[in-house]
A and B are shown apart, each in its own frame.
Chain A
Amino acid sequence: MLISNLEILPDHKVVRHLGLVQGSSVRSKHVGRDFMAFFKNIFGGELRGYTELLHESREEATLRLVEQAEQIGANAVLNVRYSTSSIAAGAAEIFVYGSAVEIADRD
């Protein structure tokens, strides 16, 4: 499965458009992490716990996108976009979407 945020692929042509596929994931960290984040807000600096959280979350969302694309018979997802929104204190939603297509080598 090729995932790309480009719209065109050099050396390949799009055989079939299969529509929009998406994946999302909402995650939060345990209270300890939130507590540490509260302290970091006094001193400043990177919130590693949250960086990690969003990274895991993004991976999960992307895997869901891939699953969905796989189910409808796509072999690539193009023009992928990510978006993040915070839903409640300490929880974030990661949303990823793109167009599922079937591609073939250009001869």
Chain B
Amino acid sequence: MIEGVLFLVLMSCGLIFGQIAEKRHLKSLVKRELESNSLPAIASRYPVDDQPYQQHLVTGGVVIASDYFKSFTAGLINIFGGRVTPFESLLDRGRREALLRMKSNAQDLKADYVFNVKLETSRIATGRAGAIEVLAYGTALVSGNDANNAPTIDSSSTNIAASGDRAISHRSVGNASAINNGGIDTTESSET
């Protein structure tokens, strides 16, 4: 009896809050996609070379969870087979969000293009239920005459860590030195 009530509560929570969250997310995705349309993200492996560009690896990632209603419905569909629409929309939203985050990182660098965009999806195990991680990454091309943005390619070895950090992320620069020290140990042990 109690289990039945709990199940109904969970289902309705998932249905109501899940739907609200999904609608809101889709709305914001459409809005931000329109705003970021000026920056082309291209899957081509061959960059344009009409002028000198500086290159930066840009990434955008998101972990997105399914709700109880979706998980349950997906379980039901699994019995009969067919399109698992609840998860399709989840993956779609995850990918679009990851791409937008990558683009916004590229826009922070004032990039003109993002080339060789790759999308990578993986399942993150959180107990029984499903959460997916989507990572979008690509090479941002920043036009060369704007030298303030970016470290040059022939930077000396002393600022390697700093320039690498700036290229990868601009959010948590403070962690760089700590991470870097950890990195030295590991590389040494993997060399031996």
Contacts and interface: CB of A to CB of B under 8 A. Distances in A.
Contacts, number: 198
Interface residues of B, number: 72
Contact of A44 (B18, B163, B167, B179): B18
Contact of B135 (A2, A75, A80, A82): A82
Nearest to A11: B52
Given A10-B47, A43-B14, A70 B160 contact: yes
B161 A43 contact: no
Contacts of A68: 187, 190-191
B87 to A, nearest CB: 12
B29 to A, nearest CB: 12
Given A11-B49, A37-B131, A51-B61, A6 B118 contact: no
B191 A71 contact: yes
Contact of B139 (A6, A37, A42, A83): A6
Contact of B57 (A8, A12, A80): A80
A67 B57 CA distance: 16
A44 B115 CA distance: 32
Nearest to B169: A59
Contacts of B52: 10-11
A68 B164 CA distance: 13
B116 A6 contact: yes
A55 interface: yes
B172 A41 contact: no
Given A8-B47, A71-B191, A44 B21 contact: yes
Q: Taking chain A's interface residues, is the majority helix, strand, or loop, or is none over half, making it mixed?
A: mixed
Contacts of A38: 126-127, 129
A59 B48 CA distance: 28
A10 to B, nearest CB: 4
Contacts of A17: none
Interface of B: 10, 13-14, 17-18, 21-22, 45-49, 52-53, 55-57, 59, 61-68, 70-71, 97, 115-116, 118, 120, 122-127, 129-131, 133, 135, 137-139, 153-155, 157, 160-161, 163-165, 167-169, 171-172, 175-176, 179-180, 182-184, 186-187, 190-191
11 contacts: A11-B49, A42-B67, A45-B21, A50-B131, A59-B175, A59-B179, A62-B168, A64-B183, A68-B190, A81-B118, A92-B122
